[in-house]
Structures are given as structure tokens and as C-alpha cells.
Structure 1
Amino acid sequence: MSDYFIRLYKDSDYDVARDLFAHGTKEYTSKAFHHSIRLPHIWLPVLVVLTLPVLNLMSIPISILMAAIAVVTVWFGNRYIFTSYIDYVLSDDMLDIREYYLQRDGYSFWVAESSDGEVIGTIAALPSSEPGGEKHLEMRRLSVAEHHRGKGIGSVLCRTLIDFARRRGCKAVVLTTTLSQIEAQKMYEKLGFRHTQNSLHPGLLGKVLDFGILAYKYDIPSQE
């Protein structure tokens, strides 16, 4: 017997839902940093700076300081992308979850609740605004509490949304995720989502850090 169940969002879930989203998003800073720091245009300059004392072109302390500043800058650059996104979402669709998701046609917001009454997961649905996606439903705000992962909660939340899309006559479910969310990508692909597009976070910072955005699509079989 499952130790959790899926239900529609209630106003009492507000703080937990926002915290799950914020924490779940911010935790990928480390993985994004490790990806960025391995980029040749990042680590090569750091390596060059560290070799300058050998050539008597810079003192060792200054060399180490400059390399450390570069590494820290890469860390905070990735963190800034995540935190600015969190700030935007919390002041946009998750500012008033009920009004945004439960009082508009084609929108919805579900939570996973444990048997002891704890909200341990969230997922949201809304009509896609992408060109040509009039019959597509967009998945957003999928989060599962860290200490409840590995139980299939994320997959059940996704299936709940897919069933909602099917009942509404949608042709597909679409979503975007980041390059650093590797486990989420594996889950989507296991559920039948196809990786359809790669892009970079807009702006110079996204290009420098190679902050990848991945698009996925799940085609809903037609019922004839």
C-alpha cells in the first residue's frame, strides 16, 4: 500500500509548496557549477593563472587568489541564475497558487501528501503558450522532498498530469528542465517523454556557463 496520495492543492499547502520549489531548484547549483568549471574556456584560464608564478610573472599568493576568485565567480554565476529564477516564480505564478492554477480553465496544481499529512511533492499544469502548441499542456513546478525521493512520487505526479491532459483532449505534454537535472531527465524519458530541443539560458551569463535548457515532449495517443 502506498504511503502517500495525490490531491489538488489547498491554501494550507502554500508555504510548503513554495519551499519545496525553492529548495528543489536551488540544490542544482552544485551540479551546474561542476559542469561549468569543466568547460575549456573556464578551466584553461584558471590553469594559466596558476602557472604564472612558475614563469616569474606573478607571485604565488596573487595567482592563487585570482584563480580562487574565478572559481567563486563561476559558482555564484550559476547560483544567480537559479536564485533569480526562484525569485521570479515566487512573485509570478506561485504568488497566488489558487488564483493562478485552480481558478482558470486548463490549469491545475496537485500535491503529494504522505500518510502522516506532510506535503512531499508538487506539480502544476497550464496550457502551453508556445507557437503551435494550442493542444499542448505544459508541466511546471515538479518537486519532491529530498527525503522522499526514490519512491516513484515524481512519476506518479507526472502521470496525474498526463491523465489530466488526456481527459482535456490535449495532444501532448511539454516541459523544460535544466542540463543539471539529470535524474529528472531519466525519469521523463522512462515515462515516454522525448528530448526535443536544447537551448541556453538567455544572456551572456548563460552562454559563458553553458547553462543548458532542455525541452521534452510526451505525445498522447489519439483515442479513436
Structure 2
Amino acid sequence: MSGVQIRKYQEEDAESVKEVFTLGMSEHIPSSFVHVLKQPLTQMVLMCTFCALITSSNSYLLPFLAVALLLAVARLGIVYMFNRYIEATLSSDLRDVTTSYLRSPDSCFWVAESEGRVVGTVACLPAENAPGCLELKRMSVRRSHRGRGIAKALCRTVEDFTRDRGYAAVVLHTSMVQTEAQKLYEHMGFKRIREFVLPEAAAKILNFMLYEYRLDVHNSKEIRK
């Protein structure tokens, strides 16, 4: 990780942080589309549409065009959902990182900087549904700087902060399509403790799972209440 510095967020990092987050989330659109294609419901709809049209039209062109249109609509739907999530995040905690993460002693936001450029981010704050734990959030590294140990260093930064603040563990959530993130967290010692489907109707229909991970930091200090 030569030439990379991990430091606390500064106000001038705002636009770079938003860019890193947006690019990182957008990378998961193709894998999410593949997940949708693998679902039995999707395959059934495509097959029924194709068979119904080829039977009624006696032509291969119309069924193929209809299936292509359905696939295009499905991909646009996925793009829309990701863009909606990105916009919601940019309008919430990333709109004012200082207020969201740097006003409390038990939360923080870090960036990884290389040659004056923000190439990675991570944050943590007290977990709402896990007393005594901090939640790791906004982990992202630019594609051009992956494979250099930056993500591992960002994880360790959160782990050390969690231990220093007297919390018992780090928890986080990641989606089923973020396979590289899952490998990273498991390599760092995180254990998957829960799997659940998002409450939105589309997520339930498409069986889009979220995974919850936990890393006990084996802290000897008194756990904060």
C-alpha cells in the first residue's frame, strides 16, 4: 500500500467521496442483472412470452424482439433502483459527512488518499440494531487502486477505532451480488450471522438478499451501553 495515506475526512473531500461511492455502487448493476436473469420467475416469464408469441404469430422475429424488450425493461428497472439508492444516500449522510460522522466521538469517516486523490472511503457509527457494536459503512475503493491492500487497511482502521472506543464488535451489511466485498470481509475475520431479503416488493419477488457480518474485536475494555 505504498504511497497511500488513510486519514480523516476533510470538507474538501466532499465531491471525491460522492464520486467514489457512486462509481462503486454502479459497478453492481451488471451482477444484479445477472441475478435477475437466474431467477425462476424471470425465466418463466421470458419463456412463456416467447412461446405464446411464436405460437400466435408463426414468426421468430416478434418473439425475439419481445424478449429483448423485456430484458431491456428489466435492466432499466435495476438501473433505476440503484440510482434511487445512490441519490438517497447522497441526500442523506453523504450530503454532510461532517455532521453525519464527525460530530460524535463514537463515529468517524476516513478516506484513502494517493497522490493527492481520494481513492477509497470507509465510515462507522454506532449500530442501531446491535447494541455495543459499531457499524461499518461506505466502504469503497476505486477500481484503479484495487489489489493494493487499501480495502484491508480501511477495514483495520475501523476495527482499531472500534476497539479504542470500547465497543465489542464491528457489524456491516452487504448484498448478495457484492461477492468481492464478501471475500474481503471473510478474509478479515468477519462472520456472516444473518441473511435476509429487503422489504421492498421487487426485492422479495427477485429474492435479493442482504448479508449481515460481524467481527468481534476481543476488546478488554468495558463495552459501552
Q: TM-score range by the shorter chain?
A: over 0.9
Matched, 1:108 2:108: yes
Please state whether the residue corresponding to 2:220 is helix, strand or coil.
coil
Task: Give 1:164-203 correspondences, 5 Å limit.
Answer: 164-203=161-200
Query: 2:190 & 2:73 partners in 1: Cα distance?
Result: 35
Structure 1 partner of 2:47: 47
C-alpha deviations, 1:170-199, integer Å up to 9, x for none? 011000011110000000000000111111
Three-state SS of the structure 1 residue aligned to 2:131 is coil
- Aligned residue in 2 for 1:151: 148
Q: TM-score, normalised by structure 1?
A: 0.93
Q: What do the CA deviations read for 1:45-102 (whole angstroms, capped 9, x no partner)? A: 2123223354345643432232122212221222222211111110100001112111
- Match of 2:38? 38
Separation of aligned partners in 2, 1:58 and 1:163? 66
**After the TM superposition, which of the residue ranges 57-66 and 165-174 deviates more from structure 2?**
57-66
TM-score when scaled to structure 2? 0.92
Question: How many aligned positions are there?
Answer: 221
Report what 1:136 is aligned to: 133
Q: Is the 8 A contact 1:122 1:144 kept in 2?
A: yes
Is contact 1:78-1:209 (8 Å) kept?
A: no
Contact 1:166 1:220 in 2 (8 A): yes
CA contact (8 A) 1:122 1:143 kept: yes
Which residue does the alignment assign to 1:69?
69
Tell me which of 198, 202, 206 is aligned to 2:203: 206
**What is aligned with 2:117?**
118
Consecutive unaligned residues of structure 1, counting only runs of 5 or more, are none
Unaligned ranges ≥5, structure 2: none
Q: Which residue of 1 aligns with 2:9?
A: 9
Q: Deviations over 1:2-45 (max 9, x none)?
A: 22011000111110001100110111010011011011110122
> Higher mean Cα deviation, 23-32 or 76-85?
76-85
> Structure 1 residues 96, 54: closer, same or farther in 2, change over 3 A?
closer
Does structure 2 conserve the Cα–Cα contact (< 8 Å) formed by 1:123 and 1:143?
yes
CA RMSD, 1 decimal? 1.6
Contact map agreement 2:54 2:62 (CA 8 A) in 1: no
Structure-2 separation of matches of 1:58 and 1:70: 20
Distance 1:209 1:26 in 2: 19
* Partner Cα distance (1:216, 1:151) in 2: 23
Q: Does the CA contact (< 8 Å) of 1:171 and 1:220 recur in 2?
A: yes
Instruction: Check whether the contact 1:113–1:119 (CA below 8 A) recurs between aligned residues.
Output: yes
